[in-house]
Amino acid sequence: MAKITPFKAVRPSADKVALVTCRTYDDYSSAELAAWLSFNPYSFLHVIHPAYAHAQKITLDKRFKGVLHKYQDFKEEEVLINEEQPVFYIYEIQSKGHVFTGIIAGASIDDYQKGHIKKHEDTLQYRVELFKDYLHQTGFNTEPVLITYPESVAINTFIGLQKKHDPIYSFATPNKEKHTLWKIDTQSEIDWLQEHFENIPNLYIADGHHRSASAELLFEQDKHLGNKNLNYFMSFLIAESNVKIYEFNRIIRDLNGLSKDDFITKLSDNFIIKPKDQELWKPQNKFEFGMYLDGSFYALFYKQSQKATSVLENLDAQILYDTVLHPLLGIEDLRNDERIDYIPGKQSVSVIKDLVDEGEYEVGFMLYPTNMSEIKTIADKNLIMPPKSTYIEPKFRSGLVVYEL
């Protein structure tokens, strides 16, 4: 069963919501970040990155205290306001042909610890501890964990009825997205939603493995304080059919001492190779890979006889690692090796071509996206996907809804 809870959120005043909310901090280049901070005094970027110009010169402790102070300033100035009672929200994002709709709620730490909220990615302990310290010192989180639930006609109908009401927010953003938020605050509707989620045996983390792990670590550290908000972490719950899964493509700086001809010869042990010349070729099916090398594209078809029976070994990202990245290019640590970088699949293949043509990288590989069935099977078997296997949308806007701890 899945236990979800409403919470007393902090959110922007209606007249400033379009100015306050922002993309996640990592989405901005240095130039963009400086421009937004200079141009928009209401941006939540001022909260999550105070003293931007001096950020590299101060300790993490001072930076976290600066975040808290700026957050308190926003509340005192009523840029951010407190919800009067615990509520759920329906949140919809319309973005370039996709419409994502889900429920903002608190997800249970107990469910996470018991394995009812399943994960498919590994975490880096230093990142988990860093974000745990951030949560402990600032006392709030505005980046929910993206969690999927099985398709439900009843929940879809409930959401559809809620969307007939007037929203509390409806605004557009500079990246041409439309964001709409509805509040669920009547007790009967809150009870109905909780009861229906209790009938769902398992939920699956799509994005936010580090955030959920940090929330658990904070709970274990501070549970003796009796703060019930620590029993949950903010989540954006969305039907598994409503997420968009992209691949992460790979670009590598060198051929590990191999010549182009030797490298292609070694590739032929595991792949049927078809030149595509200047065609911006992307894989059309599982077990297909694109490659850009020395000014030309290639289609790589994994040989049928090589396929394994394990779901993990049959993941395209794992196949590329097992047959190319590790044995041929000498890359062992996909997270930390400086010779490899990653490009989200939502970006054009031409981005990879340009990066290789500029000379900083020697070769690029394009993958076919993983599907939700593979993700769930990996999670159900308590297996871990290779790093950077998926880039999943939707992405939540920082500062839209704040969960206080």
pLDDT in tens, 122-180: 898 999 999 999 999 999 999 999 999 999 999 999 999 999 999 999 999 988 999 99
pLDDT computed for residue 306 by the predictor: 65
- The Cα–Cα gap between 362 and 252 comes to 6
**Residues 271-290: pLDDT tens digits?**
999 999 999 999 999 999 99
Position 53 pLDDT exceeds 60: no
CB of 253 within 8 A of CB of 329?
no
Domains of the chain (ranges; CATH) run: 4-245+393-404 (3.90.1530.10), 248-368 (3.30.1760)
State the Cα–Cα distance between residues 120 and 238, nearest whole angstrom: 17
In a 3-state reduction of DSSP, which class is residue 136? helix
DSSP per-residue string spanning 24-48: -GGGS-HHHHHHHHHH-TT-THHHH
Residue 309 has pLDDT above 80, yes or no: no
Q: Give, rounded to a whole angstrom, the gap between the first and last alpha carbons of the chain.
A: 24
- pLDDT confidence bin for 334, thresholds 50/70/90: very high
Report cis status (omega within 30 of 0) of the bond before 394. Answer: yes
Query: In degrees rounded to 5, what are phi and psi of residue 235?
Result: -135, 150
Poorest-pLDDT segment among 5-9, 10-14, 122-126, 140-144 = 122-126
- Name the residue type at position 31: A
What's the whole-number mean pLDDT along residues 102-118? 98
- Alpha helices (H) in 171-268, listed in sequence order: 187-198, 209-222, 260-267
Question: Cβ(121)–Cβ(209) under 8 Å?
Answer: yes
Assess contact for 292 and 259: CB atoms under 8 A: no
Q: How far lies 183's CA from each of 83, 91, 177, in Å?
A: 10, 9, 20
pLDDT score for 52: 58
The structure's pTM equals 0.93
